[in-house]
Chain A
Amino acid sequence: MIQLQNLSKTFVTGNGKLVAVDDVNITVDTGEIFGIIGYSGAGKSTLIRLLNGLEKPTSGSVTVNGQQISSSSGQALRSARQKVSMIFQHFNLLWSRTVEDNIAFPLEIAGISKSKRTERVKELIELVGLKGKEKAYPSQLSGGQKQRVGIARALANNPEVLLCDEATSALDPETTDAILELLVDINKRLGLTIVLITHEMHVIRKICHRVAVMEAGKVVEMGSVLDIFQKPQQDITKRFVAQINGPEEANQTIAHLVEQYPSGKLVKLVFVGDRTEQPILSRLIKQYQVEVNIVQGNIAQTQNGAYGTLYLQIEGESLAIEKAIQYLHGQDVQTEVISHA
């Protein structure tokens, strides 16, 4: 759906040149939720603005659904923008218009007749859950409601791609989750391709299929969300992953666990993808004469399945423990025995 080839953007400022986007190559598939994460100033906003031609690349090309955005201008570009819509961190609603008139705005731009606009606005209000707020002005809405208006407005002309620039960064955690769920819902229901930029890893974890990590204008790491969470390569990626997992368990903490649970055996399980859904633990307890204590655990759901680690203390007859561990090894769950009591 989207191809970025050798894409670069240099700004010429008072104190010299600034490479905001540096030789970026990304392909986003149709129907995918693609995340771009990076710290402030990494060039994320510049990159996403290149996708709908709000910014022209210094070199390289942007192709969306077969149309080369980077070389389009005038009416061709304006028509393309109706199919690549955008939502913003600060919502960017027109305060002078009511909710329904804000949502109707892109339809007016597209030259849709009044009666069709009214009909479409009604559908959209329903879709984003804003019934009863049609006549309200943005100043009368909460942040979450404003973003729902922003989403409805972005969906008005049935776009193929939705660009989200820090769409949840101004919202509290619960509202963030609600908006993210709405985005997943829209992605599934309408088959919309979503490109989302953020500096929060939990946003990536919660809704993205794939992610690119940006640092100083470059994409330094890219892959499926599960892979990135499991095997982050770059330091910056590790730091982002640590936002959710907490810092990587240092030997000290494991030593601490061993100290705390001196009896039996301490086992670390690493789950990836669908395997978490299999009833491994309950079988373990039912089939083997062992006691199982969950010592520490961290399982997270991503769009490609769950992943996480689980520390277990297994107690019982040493033979039973041995068999139990063998069973775990056989289960295609990465198993590591970290203490022999």
Chain B
Amino acid sequence: MLEKLLPNVDWINMWEAALETLYMTALATGFTFIIGLALGITLFLTSPRQLWANKLVNWLTGAFVNIFRSIPFIILIILLIPFTKLLLGSIRGPDAALPALIIGAAPFYARMVLIALREIDKGVIEAARSMGAKTSTIIWKVLLPESLPALLSGLTVTAVALVGYTAMAGIIGAGGLGTLAFQDGFQRSREDVTLVATIIILIIVFIIQWVGDSITSKADKR
């Protein structure tokens, strides 16, 4: 039955491609979280009247974030080919997609981190300072926990975007469902392959969204 409807779908290939997509998304999300958080916190703390108020650092970080956030992802991949080659020795396969994925998504997430941190009541930070808290204590025990729901929902949005990025990276041969849909499906006119790959991508996105939403609402004690 399934064979007749989808004659060209090789389920083993499809499964492997799905795993590659999940692998790229998971790893890129992890790195994006860490790098984006660091960038976002730096942006926040160096902004005027904050604990590390510093015009130069704030401007540099802001410029970096804004530039990389503005470059269309497909162009970023191409621009980063030499860098990736230098770093990994190859531009093919899931690992080769990671630098572009992370550099594309981290500034995007940093922006969301900044917005989340700005939402924190200034009074709470002031209260922590009035108790004699160090800046590191304020970061770990005030900024992060107090903005956790927003950080998590931002991460969900970022992870969903990353699934889309992995599909685009597929066009240059990163592997995963994108490559499968493009090379096996589109270039060979096997519409059924493209369709199944798309459905699996949608399922992945829905699962990420659902998991992200439920963790976010659990973290929100307001």
Q: Chain A residues in contact with chain B, CB under 8 A?
A: 52, 54, 77-82, 85-86, 88, 90, 92-97, 105-106, 108-110, 137, 139, 153, 157
Contacts and interface: CB of A to CB of B under 8 A. Distances in A.
A54 B129 CA distance: 8
A159 to B, nearest CB: 10
B130 A85 contact: yes
A96 B148 contact: yes
A92 B123 contact: yes
A14 B61 CA distance: 25
Interface in B4-21: none
B141 A105 contact: yes
A137 B128 CA distance: 18
Interface in B121-140: 121, 123-124, 126-134, 137
Contacts of B132: 77-82, 106, 109-110
Contact of A109 (B123, B131, B145, B146): B131
Contacts of A96: 145-146, 148, 219, 221
18 contacts: A54-B126, A79-B132, A81-B130, A81-B132, A82-B131, A85-B130, A86-B127, A88-B127, A90-B123, A92-B123, A93-B127, A95-B222, A96-B221, A106-B131, A109-B128, A109-B131, A109-B134, A110-B132
Nearest to B121: A92
Contacts of A78: 132-134
Nearest to B124: A92
Contacts of B137: 108-109
Contacts of B157: none
B127 A95 contact: no
B221 A139 contact: yes
B205 interface: no
A97 B219 CA distance: 11
B161 interface: no
B172 interface: no
A81 B127 CA distance: 11
A109 B142 CA distance: 12
A259 B221 CA distance: 64
Contacts of A81: 129-132
Contacts of B134: 78, 109
Nearest to B133: A109
A77 B127 CA distance: 15
A106 B219 CA distance: 23
A94 B142 contact: yes
A94 B120 CA distance: 10
A77 B131 CA distance: 10
A112 to B, nearest CB: 12
Contact of A108 (B129, B141, B221, B222): B141
A86 B141 contact: no
